[in-house]
Amino acid sequence: MDVSNILADHAEKIKPTEVETENPLDVDAGFLTVTDPNLIDVESYESSLETHLFSLARTGTQALLNSLFSLPTTSSPDGPLAQLPAPTTQLPRTKPLPKIKPLTKWEQFAKAKGIQGKSKEKREKKVWDEERQEWINRWGKDAKNKQVEEQWITEVPMNADIDFDPRKAARDERKARVTKNQKQHEANAARAQKTGSSASNPEREAHKKDLERTLAMSRTSTASMGKFDRKLEGEKKMKGIKRKVRFVFPSFYPEPKFNGYPRTV
Amino acid sequence: MLRTVKPKNARSKRAMEARQPKEVEDARIAIFVKGTKTGEVLNGVMKDMMALKRPDAISFSKKNVIHPLDAQNTASGSSSMSSLEFWSSKNDASMFVIGQTSKKRPNDLTFVRMFDGKVLDIVEAGVENYVSMESVPGSKSTPGHKPLMHFASELFDTHPRFIQLKSMLMSLFNGEAVESIYLKGLEHVISVSLAPTPATLNTTTESTTPLPKVHIRTYTTRLLASGSRIPRVELTPMGPSMDLVLRRHINPDPELLKQAMRRPKLKKTDVEKGLGKKRKNLDVDEMGDLRGRVHVGKQDLSRLQTRKMKGLKAGAFEDGGDDGAGDSGSDDDEASNKKRKLS
């Protein structure tokens, strides 16, 4: 049985996907864009414009799709998704980069100690109530943090005062937590404002730099370049100041070269 | 300039937060503005461009007195700029396409790009040989699908005017960086090619040689089986198609452009993934799997255990005479040496 005819038919039906151009096309897969750096052929441009543009576009698109279809893929409910690389073309942004939020005092502490708690976003608004077997608010209406003060009967400790009100005690405790948190929030906001303002005050920064330079000059203007001066308490060590190497007269005889073996006497 | 308002409810707070600067930005929202007079051609061009840009397109269908390319010291020029800035802040839009026709500049299309609520750069072009989307039979692309873009000419890499045009068109249609894409959803391609480069065209300075024409064509794609993973693509004209002749332009202010080109710092995880650096020894095979090559270092063969023979033992000759009893019983050389030291 001769299958060469069938194979030839099949090969005829299937057209090639390779792209042959003089210079390789510049594909930016991240922006789904291809740029053809080849010179425009004057002859084909003038003979028939539309066919010329069509063939250019087809070649370019094929080159782009070749690179897109060879990207690694991940599966999704709709079908395979191609993972695009970061774009290589630099386009101007729409808005400036977002400002970095200064860390709160707790965040600073947690970072220094390496504590990884749940972030604010991850903390859920609802908590599970074992007794009622349902999700209830963490705060707000009928919330978990008001359960003690809102329940209709509360146990009172034996040694409590006569005028002890368990509902009021629970409420006061909660209110104290709220005010403490508010105070911390305000302090954090004030600190953020402070750090932001000092960096954005160029006059102050320039003055600070000038002062530092004057201090450095005065410290190094003694005979020992500050080495044997009396140090003040908490004085910082100077950076980037080196003693100049003393000039040594070259000796008449060249120094013996070290040949790697112990010298024999 | 809008007042800075404190949001009164959660919904408006969310809406305001959505407009805050982001590290990875969304697609630019474009406003299509009609000037004092727009002909039939420009109306069609703007309508079709909106169809390509949808859903990030806003139409200003009423007439507006706007001449952003007039000198800034004239009344019309400065008021145009402030209008653009106002519309931009009101609509959270960062691109404008302005259509206006006059005797001096027939069928004039102006692309304006904004940064941080200020005008960054402007490109003006005249439209010729316009063919509308409606007049071309066949299927059209789905709104919201990202187009492929194709630029053909070496001038897009060398000539400042065409570099600007390419950047502008990419910002308009394709300026959104996405992480992944559904390959079957790539339905259409916008092809931008130039007429042959005139021999006298100087790429560095503004010369008197007219710039080559820009041909914009749009096609829908058909992916055919090719026997491999990569399909063969065939194109069908979709419309709109038009030719552009570049006219006036405004280059971006270098200081503003510098701010606009700032990139976020690469995250540590991204650097580990290989972003920002060239990824060595990684490639994707025909099945789409990522293949890597690993260098395992030189193997130390000196300690390889080969066949054990009594005659090849290191201590066999030295210990043979004087301490025969201790040596012959032990398998290990080190053990026998230890024993000898002890005795």
Distance CA B180, CA A81 (A): 6
Q: Which of B157, B235, B263 sits opposite A57 (nearest CB)?
A: B235
Contact B27, B146 (CB under 8 A): no
Whole-complex ipTM: 0.75
When divided into structural domains, chain B yields a total of 1
What percent of chain A is predicted at pLDDT more than 70? Answer: 86
The two three-digit tokens of residue B85, written as one number: 């800035």
How does the average pLDDT of chain A come out, rounded?
84
Cβ separation of A41 and B193 shorter than 8 Å? no
Q: Residue B325: is it exposed, middle or buried by C-beta count within 10 angstroms (0-12/13-18/19+)?
A: exposed
Inter-CA distances, B203 with A99, B154, B158, B254, Å: 39, 11, 7, 19
Length of chain B: 343
Q: Chain A interface, mutation test: which of B193, B211, B224, B258, most A Cβ atoms within 10 Å?
A: B193
Of A54, A76, A94, the CB nearest to B115: A94
Helices A166-199 and A202-219, interaxial angle, to 10°?
Answer: 70
User: Among all residues of chain B, which has the CA nearest to that of A95?
Assistant: B116
Whether pTM > 0.80 for this model: the answer is no
pLDDT at B323: 47
Residues 6+ apart with CB under 8 A from B338: none
Please compute Rg for chain B using Cα positions.
34
The H or E element containing residue A27 is strand A26-28
* pLDDT tens, residue order, chain B (343 aa): 455 678 899 999 999 889 999 988 999 999 999 999 999 999 999 999 999 998 999 999 899 999 999 877 787 778 899 999 999 999 999 999 999 999 999 999 999 999 999 999 999 999 999 999 999 998 899 998 999 999 999 999 999 999 999 999 999 999 888 889 998 889 999 999 999 988 877 666 566 778 999 999 999 999 988 888 889 999 999 989 999 999 999 999 999 999 999 988 776 666 555 555 566 788 778 887 888 888 888 888 888 888 888 877 776 565 544 444 444 444 444 444 544 444 4
Does a structural domain hold residue B202?
Answer: yes
Element (H, E) at B150: strand B148-152
Residue A68 touches chain B, beta carbons under 8 Å: yes
* Residue B313 covered by a domain: no
Please list, in sequence order, all residues whose beta carbon lies within 8 angstroms of the beta carbon of residue B132, skipping any fewer than 6 positions away.
B44, B47, B48, B239, B240
Token digits of residue A212: 């530092």
Q: What is the pLDDT of residue A250?
A: 62
Residue-level pLDDT at B203? 64
Residue B213 resides in a domain: yes
Of B23, B215, B233, the CB nearest to A65: B233
Would B101 be classed as within a structural domain?
yes
* Angle formed at CA B315 by CA B313 and CA B318, multiple of 5 degrees: 135
Residue B157, domain member (yes or no):
yes
Nearest CA in chain B to A55: B235
Interface residue B271 vs chain A (CB under 8 A): no
Which chain A residue is nearest to residue B116, measuring alpha carbons?
A95
Q: Is residue A24 less than 8 Å (CB to CB) from chain B?
A: no
**A12 Cα to chain B: minimum distance (Å):** 11
Extract the tokens encoding A43.
Answer: 């002859």
B251 CB-side CA count, 13 A: 9
Subunit contact B184:A81, Cβ cutoff 8 A: no
| Cα→Cα distances B29→B13, B50, B52, B169, B247, Å | 20, 11, 12, 13, 24
CATH number for the domain harbouring residue B251: 3.40.50.10480
B 34-93: CB under 8 A from A: none
* Residue B209, amino acid: T
Residue that has been written with the tokens 């040694």 in this structure: A159
Beta-sheet strands, E only, within A77-154: 81-83, 126-129, 134-137
**Which residue matches tokens 């024409």?**
B213
Distance from CA of B31 to the nearest CA of A (A): 14
Q: How far apart (Å, rounded) are the C-alpha atoms in residues A47 and B266?
A: 50
Q: Which amino acid is at A92?
A: P
Query: What is the per-residue pLDDT across A142-197, written as a single tens digit (0 to 9) for each?
Result: 899 998 888 889 888 889 888 999 999 999 999 999 999 999 999 999 988 877 65
* Chain-chain contact of A38 with B152 (C-beta, under 8 angstroms): yes
* b/e code A171-183 from CB counts within 10 Å (16+ = b): eeeeeeeeeeeee
Contacts of B178 in chain A (CB under 8 A): 84
With an 8 Å Cβ cutoff, are B186 and A65 in contact?
yes
Question: Would you place residue A238 in the very low, low, confident or very high pLDDT band (cuts 50, 70, 90)?
Answer: confident
Residue A119 C-alpha, separation from nearest chain B C-alpha, in angstroms: 19
Distance from CA of A174 to the nearest CA of B (A): 25
Q: How far does CA B100 lie from the centroid of its chain?
A: 30
- Of the candidates A10, A59, A4, A14, the residue with the CA atom closest to the CA atom of residue B228: A14
Mean pLDDT of A6-16: 74
Percent of chain A clearing pLDDT 90 (strictly above): 34
CB contact under 8 A, A92 and B225: no
B338: in domain: no
Please state the rounded mean pLDDT for residues A188-211.
79
- CA-based nearest distance A194→chain B, Å: 21
Rounded to a whole number of angstroms, the distance from the CA of B141 to the nearest CA of chain A is 16
Say if residues A154 and A166 touch (Cβ distance below 8 Å). Answer: yes
Candidates A57, A66, A67; CA nearest to A30 is A67
Nearest CA among B40, B77, B64, B68 for reference residue B248: B68
Domain hosting residue B77, numbered range: 26-256
Residue of A nearest to B114 (CA): A94
Please, what's the b/e burial string for B21-56 (b: 16 or more CB within 10 A of its CB; e: otherwise)?
eeeeeebbbbbbbbbeebeebbebbbebbbbbbeeb
Searching chain B, which residue's CA lies closest to the CA of residue A15? Answer: B226
Chain B: nearest CA to A23, how far in angstroms? 10
Please answer whether residues A57 and B235 qualify as being in contact, where contact means their C-beta atoms are separated by less than 8 angstroms: yes
Q: A77 pLDDT exceeds 60?
A: yes
Domain locations in chain A as residue ranges: 7-82, 122-199
- Please say whether the dihedral angle defined by the alpha carbons of residues A133, A135, A141 and A143, taken in this order, is positive or negative: positive
Residue A140 sits at the chain B interface (C-beta within 8 Å):
no
pLDDT at B170: 95
| A91 Cβ under 8 Å from any chain B Cβ | yes
